[in-house]
Structure 1
C-alpha cells in the first residue's frame, strides 16, 4: 500500500485498466503510475493501445474494467468535462477566426474567469513562450511551429492536472520536428507540467521523455527511461522496435555467449539464449586475416551501415561517415563493446 507522500506525488494511476470495443481488447489490464511533473510517452506500433490509453485519461473513453485516478481522485466514470485535463491535438484545433490571445484565454473564460483577467494570464504565458508579439494575429498567420506553441499555451492556461499530447508533431514539417519537440520539452520542464505524450516515432520518444511506456497488443511491454529501453531492452520486441538491433540466437556457456563465428561475454545461466547487439557498438578494423567480411554497405548521409558476415552470423554495423569507406568483400576484425550486448533470454 502506498503511503500518503507517495500517493500525493502521483498525477495519474492506471489500476488494472481494461478497455474493450465489442470482442476486441484495446487495453488489456495495465497498471501504471505517473508522477507529478513527469513527461511520459506511450510508444508502440499501430493498434497497440497507446492512443486508447490517452483517450482513457482524457475521458473520451471510459474503462471497461479497473480504475483510473487523476490527482488522487478516481475518475473512472467521469466524462471529459469533469476532468481537469488539457489536450494538444494533432491538428492543434485552434479557433481560426479569433486571435492568438483569445485562443489561449478561451479555457479560463469558459470556466468563469473574467475576460480581462484571462487575457492578462494569456499574455503572460505567450510572453513566456516567446510569442509575445503575436497576440493579435490569427492562427493562419503563424507558422506550424508557432501554432503548436499556441496550442500548448492554451492547454497551460487551463492549469490542468495533466496535459495530453496526441501525436503533436504529425502535422509539423520534418525539418521543424527537432526544434518543436525541443520547445515542447522545454515548456514542460519550465512550467513543471505533468504530460502524457503519444507517438509512434521512436526518436521523438527518446528525445522528449522522462520515461517511455512501450505497448504491444494492448499490454505494457516495458517501462523505463529512454536509456533503460535502448541500452537494456527486456525483449526482442523492445530491442527491435526502439532503434536497430542485431538479434542473435546461440548458447551461453561459462559466462560466454556463442553463435556461429561470434563469442561475447554475458551474464546468466548456461543454456540456449538470445542476445541483442546494437549496430553502433560494433567497431570494424581492416585486417587481412580478419574473420569477418563486408557483404554490402549503405550510405545514409550521417553514417554508413554495413552488412558483415562472421561465420554463419550476419551483423548490421553502423560507422560514422568520417571513417574510411569499406568495400564489399574486404576482410575485417570486429571489436564489440560489451556495453551494447543485452541478453534477452
Structure 2
C-alpha cells in the first residue's frame, strides 16, 4: 500500500540459540510515530536495529516504502537515527555536527551549513551553532542529535531511548519537542523506550513487546483502557488484577459483582487505581475495605485497601479529603471500568 512506510513480514532474529525477535508482523504508516515499549530483553531495540540495518533478519522481510531492504546494510538505507548517547562528534561544532551527513554524501559544505542553520533555527538553537557538544546541556545535545538526523532528510527516523540521558525535569519538555518536530516535518518514526508514560505521551500507536513477540498494538488510549492480557494491563500504568468467575454475564470476586460480557468460567479482570471511587461509609453497590497503607505522592494519594477478596491499589487526587490508616471505607467500581484480560 502506498501509505505504508515500514513493514515487518514474519521477521525473526536469532543469536545462536536465542530468539530476540520472534515472527513479527507490523505495518507503520507514513508520518506515524510508533513506539516499541517493553521490559529489558523484550526485543524492542533489536527490532529498531533491524529497520536501521544494524542487524539483518534471520528470516522474514523488512520493507521500507515497498523496497525489500532485508539484506541491505545501513549505508544503503535512508534512515536517520538518534542514539541514547547522542553520538555527537566532540571535536566538531554544533553546525558541523548537523551538516555532517549531507557533507559526507557529497553536498557542498556551504549548502549543508545553510540547511543545518535552517534546522537549528526551527529547533531554537541558532545561537549555539559554534559551540562544541561539551558546552551544551543534555537537553540541547538531544536537540542537536535530532537536528543532525533531520538534516539527512531520512525516509524514516529512529529514536533509541532518546531521553535516557536527560534529567527527569527536562524529559517532559524534550519529549514534547520531539513529538512536535516529528509532526511538523511529517516524519515516519519509530521510538524505543521502556518508560510507559513517555510512550503514552509521544505515540500515535504503541507496540508492546514481551519475550520477542508483539503482545498488543494500539493507540495509547486502547492499551490503557482495553489491555488484552494481564501482562499489558500491568505493564501500561498501574492495574489491579483481580481473579474471579464469570457466570450469567456477571463477574464475581468476594462481594464484588459486576456485569461483564464474555464466556462463563474463571476470569481475571483489570481495574485502574484511579477509577475506583472512595467514600467513608457504605453506599449502594459498593464494597467495603480497610486502608492498610497510605502514600503521599505530591499530586495524588495512593492507598492500599484490604477487601474480603484481595488488596486493591486506589489512587485519588490530593485535593480529596485525606484518609487514614485502618479507616473503614466503601469502594465503588463501575462496570465500564472493568476490563477482562483473561
- Mark the runs of 5 or more structure 2 residues left unpaired by the alignment: none
Aligned to 2:134: 140
Q: Distance in 2 between matches of 1:126 and 1:247?
A: 47
**CA separation in 2, counterparts of 1:295 and 1:262?**
19
The C-alpha deviation readout for 1:272-327, integer Å capped at 9, x for no partner, is: 21100000000101016872222221122221111112212221111111111111
Aligned-partner Cα distance in 1 for 2:253–2:278: 19
Residue 4 of structure 1 is matched in structure 2 by none
1:185 to 179, 183, 186: 179
Q: CA deviation at 1:333?
A: 1.4
Cα RMSD (Å)? 1.2
Matching residue of 1:252: 246
| TM-score, length basis structure 2 | 0.97
Q: Which of 24, 27, 30 pairs up with 2:21?
A: 27
Establish whether residue 42 from structure 1 lines up as the match of residue 36 from structure 2: yes
Q: Secondary structure at the match of 1:33?
A: strand
Deviation at 1:338, TM superposition (A): 2.9
Aligned partners of 1:262 and 1:310 also within 8 Å: no
Question: Compared with structure 1, are the counterparts of its residues 338 and 227 closer, same or farther at alpha carbon in structure 2 (3 Å cutoff)?
Answer: same
Return the offset for 1:340.
Answer: 2.3
Q: 1:221 aligns with which of 215, 230, 238?
A: 215
Within the alignment, does 1:304 sit opposite 2:298 as a pair?
Answer: no
Checking the alignment, whether the CA contact within 8 Å between 1:262 and 1:313 is kept in structure 2 is: no
- The match for 1:278 among 265, 272, 280 is 272
**2:63 partner SS:** strand
User: Mapping of 1:77-226 within 5 angstroms?
Assistant: 77-226=71-220
Q: Kindly indicate whether residue 324 of structure 2 is the aligned counterpart of residue 327 of structure 1.
A: yes
**1:213 shift after superposition:** 0.5
Residue number in structure 2 paired with 1:342: 339
Q: Give the corresponding residue for 2:231.
A: 237
Cα deviation for residue 138 of structure 1 reads 1.2
Shift of 1:337: 3.1
Q: TM-score normalized by structure 1? A: 0.96
State the match for 1:3 in structure 2.
none
Count of equivalent residues: 339
Aligned counterpart, 2:314: 317
Which whole-Å CA distance do the structure 2 matches of 1:187 and 1:153 have between them?
10
Asked whether the 8 Å contact 1:261–1:313 carries over to 2, the reply is no
Give the Cα–Cα distance (whole angstroms) in 1 for the partners of residues 336 and 64 of structure 2. 39
- 1:134: Cα distance to partner? 1.5
> Which residue in 2 is equivalent to 1:264?
258
Secondary structure of residue in 1 paired with 2:154:
coil
Distance (Å, rounded) in 2 between the aligned partners of 1:77 and 1:241: 34
In 2 relative to 1, CA 233–288 (structure 1 residues): closer, same or farther, beyond 3 Å?
closer
Q: Provide the secondary structure at the position in 2 that maps to 1:249.
A: strand
Could you tell me whether the CA contact under 8 Å between 1:288 and 1:331 is conserved in 2? Answer: no
- Displacement over 3 Å in runs of 4+: none
Distance 1:313 1:96 in 2: 55
Which whole-Å CA distance do the structure 2 matches of 1:149 and 1:106 have between them? 15
In 2, distance between residues paired with 1:222 and 1:179? 28
State the distance in 1 between where 2:2 and 2:119 align: 27
Deviation at 1:245, TM superposition (A): 0.5
